[in-house]
Structure 1
Amino acid sequence: MARKMTVEEREAFLAEVHVGVVGVAREDGRAPLTVPIWYLYAPGGELVINTGKGSLKHRLIEAAGRISLSVQVETPPYRYVTVEGPVTAITTSAEEDLEAVAHRYLEKEAAEGFLAAMAGADEVTIRVRPEHWISSDFRE
């Protein structure tokens, strides 16, 4: 039987390295956009994601003003956390924004290659305040 995670457990789980799936409402009546994404999070802080300026994801997030993000362990025993909240800022991505996420998800050489490929890309950094949480832990 699954149990809800404590605040500390869910924040620690979200802070681990997972590929998240971001969900954001569409204005045209279609189902929400859901796409995989790399993200940054530290317990008690804001969720941080980067995306291309003017991309569909960027436009929808800006219009909706809030997102949800789901992360999971895909093998038994299953665990997941879904968080939803308002966008607190959308800014032009600084080099350190991209470096932080690249080094979180990739080994050093791969991260450097990724950053070289992204040089000059027009990216935005989106910050979200976690407001509503859903979690489940099947380990016990």
Structure 2
Amino acid sequence: MLTESDIALLKGKEFAIIGTNSQEKGPQLTPVWIDTDGTNVIFNTSKGRVKHRNILADPNITICIVDSANPYHWISISGVAEMTEEGADAHIDFLAKKYLDQESYPYRGPGEVRVIVKVRPTSRASS
């Protein structure tokens, strides 16, 4: 479902805004670093954060990415999220290299458990 243009935007350094659903407070929006494997949209978080708790309760999320070079070009992808700890530490280091040009993620807290979130697109919109 991802187009070549979508993949190029996801592989760039754009930030994404993800929307998850909180049963207590309604929609919750969070900026995240973004990635793709060509099929899924991928981001990384820590166990226990609000977005992690929201996805556990309701895995349906929406992601919006705006092209900073042309803010009239954007994509919105909705889908179902799956989470795994496997490879999550290496993935957050990959994202730190991509976004910060640092070899490892500098904001890791003691005892923090990282999680990869893969979103399988079920619908998309773009400009």
Please name the residue that 1:104 is paired with: 98
Unaligned runs of 5+ in 2: none
Q: What TM-score do you get using the length of structure 1 for normalisation?
A: 0.76
User: Over aligned residues, Cα RMSD in angstroms?
Assistant: 2.2
> Per the alignment, in what secondary structure is the counterpart of residue 129 of structure 1?
strand
4+ runs deviating over 3 angstroms: 74-77
Q: Which structure 2 residues correspond to residues 19-58 of structure 1 after superposition, within 5 A?
A: 19-28=15-24, 30-43=25-38, 45-58=39-52
- The offset of 1:42, in angstroms, is 3.7
Look up the equivalent residue of 1:51 and give its one-letter code: T
TM-superposed deviation, 1:76: 4.8
Q: Letter of the aligned partner of 1:23 in structure 2?
A: G
Aligned residues: 124
Asked if 1:135 is matched to 2:111, the reply is: no
* Equivalent residue number for residue 3 of structure 1: none
Instruction: Between the two structures, name the one with larger relative contact order (CA 8 Å, sep ≥ 6).
Output: 1
The answer (yes or no) to whether the contact 1:25–1:32 under 8 Å persists in 2 is yes
Find the aligned partners of 1:75 and 1:81 in 2 and give their Cα distance: 14
Q: Output the amino acid matched with 1:26.
A: S
Deviation at 1:11, TM superposition (A): 3.1
Mark the structure with the bigger radius of gyration: 1
Q: Percent identity?
A: 26
- Could you tell me which residue of structure 2 aligns to residue 69 of structure 1? 63
Q: TM-score, normalised by structure 2?
A: 0.83
- In 2, the alpha carbon distance for the partners of 1:116 and 1:22 equals 22
Q: Does the CA contact (< 8 Å) of 1:86 and 1:129 recur in 2?
A: yes
2:53 to 43, 46, 59: 59
Q: Is 2:107 aligned against 1:123?
A: no
Task: Please identify which structure carries the higher helix content.
Answer: 1
CA deviation after TM superposition for structure 1 residue 8, in Å = 2.7
Q: Structure 1 stretches of 5 or more lacking a match?
A: 1-5
SS of equivalent to 1:37:
strand
CA distance in 2 between counterparts of 1:48 and 1:76 reads: 22
Distance change in 2, residues 1:123/1:79 (3 Å) = same
